[in-house]
Structure 1
Amino acid sequence: MSEPRIEPLTEPSVVEPLLDGYLRWCIERMTATNGVHFDDPDEVVAQYQRSFRDELPNLLSPRGRLLVARIGEDAVGVGALKPVDAVTSEIKRMYVDPSTRGRGIGRALLRRLLADAREEGFRLARLETANYMVEAHALYRSLGFRDSAVFDHAETAMSEGIERFMYFMELPLVPPRRLIQNSPSR
């Protein structure tokens, strides 16, 4: 099996099947872990896809990112960087297909998103994650994310009753190292 590639994505429909799988997995895990039942899971998926499409202008803006991980031509992972304001970014839509987990794809996506956030001048990256995403928590913490309070406009904070199952995390971003050239003394 070939090595995964991380690429910018300009055609979002490529990752819609991944996001569909992600949300169906989330619904199943939310029910199994927290006893939350959804009256119409298909409508939840459709609403999530609409929310994703509504976010696209921000994700595809000059300071935003929408990345896909590929093995061969197959899309196996997705991650996004959403500009929130001049100094704050949000990591969104991180997901790796279960059949390809354990190969470092999520870590590669997140490292790339954080490097891009630094390059764009963001000083803070934040994210929200569900209580059942234990492997994701370990990844985020390994790269320096720490627990934070719920933040303004958090997606799940706007869903009544779901916030209590969510973790909110943030990472102060250090600008990329730049070579400082000393000019000759005069």
Structure 2
Amino acid sequence: MSIRKALPTDNSGAKVVVQKSLASFGLIADFDTLDAAIGALGQSNTPNAIELVAEVDGKLVGCLAIQRMEGAIAKLFGFHVDASMQGQGIGRTLLREGIAQAVIHNFTHLELDTWGDMGAAVHLYESLGWVRGPDPLPESGADRFYCLALVR
């Protein structure tokens, strides 16, 4: 497995991973609005400060994007791992690298919105020290909010 910066050629593969992941929860990806961070992954006009993909044997199996929000606060978007590859530590490794890159970019906090039904992801966040905060507004496309204070 390798984790690397996303390239323009990764865009379509990342979208497939996200579409399949969301579909498994009965959700539909919308790369123009709620999932726009992955829609822009690898593109020259990306709003993302950090874009990473996970590969196994040359196949893209995971992705994430991090955007600066306000000041030194950033938000994690589009963190997904191919369902057939889950349980192998890929998500943990990908997320840890995303956190490490956020520290390098001088972010002090990471935030994310997620669904409580995404039990494996919620467990991963909590195991890495993310703290649940006030639930996001319904139009956010999620029902849980988490924050992680970054240590330098």
Q: TM-score, normalised by structure 1?
A: 0.70
Pairwise CA distance, 1:13: 2.3
Where has structure 1 moved over 6 Å in runs of 4 or more? none
Give the aligned partner of residue 123 of structure 2. Answer: 138
Give the aligned partner of residue 174 of structure 1. Answer: 151
Pairwise CA distance, 1:78: 0.9
Q: Which amino acid aligns with 2:151?
A: V
Give the aligned partner of residue 180 of structure 1. Answer: none
The answer to which structure has the higher strand fraction is 2
Pairwise CA distance, 1:81: 1.1
Q: Report % sequence identity.
A: 25
Q: Which amino acid aligns with 1:123?
A: T
Give the aligned partner of residue 50 of structure 1. Answer: 32
Q: Deviations over 1:5-52 (max 9, x none)?
A: 111112122311112112212326xxxxxxxxxxxxxxx43xx12234
Give the aligned partner of residue 43 of structure 2. Answer: none
> CA RMSD, aligned part only?
2.0
Matched residues in 2 for 1:148 and 1:121: separation?
Answer: 22
Q: Which amino acid aligns with 2:62?
A: G
SS at match of 2:24: helix
Q: Deviations over 1:36-92 (max 9, x none)?
A: xxxxxxxx43xx122344663211xxxx11111101111111111111122101111
Q: Does 1:84 align with 2:84?
A: no
Relative to structure 1, is the Cα distance of residues 53 and 134 closer, same or farther in structure 2, using a 3 angstrom cutoff?
closer
Q: Which amino acid aligns with 2:118?
A: M
Give the aligned partner of residue 114 of structure 1. Answer: 99
Q: Does 1:10 align with 2:17?
A: no
Corresponding pairs, count: 143
Give the aligned partner of residue 58 of structure 2. Answer: 73
SS at match of 1:122: coil
Q: TM-score, normalised by structure 2?
A: 0.84
| Structure 1: stretches of 5+ with no match in the other structure | 29-43, 152-156, 176-186
| Structure 2: stretches of 5+ with no match in the other structure | 41-45
Pairwise CA distance, 1:123: 0.6
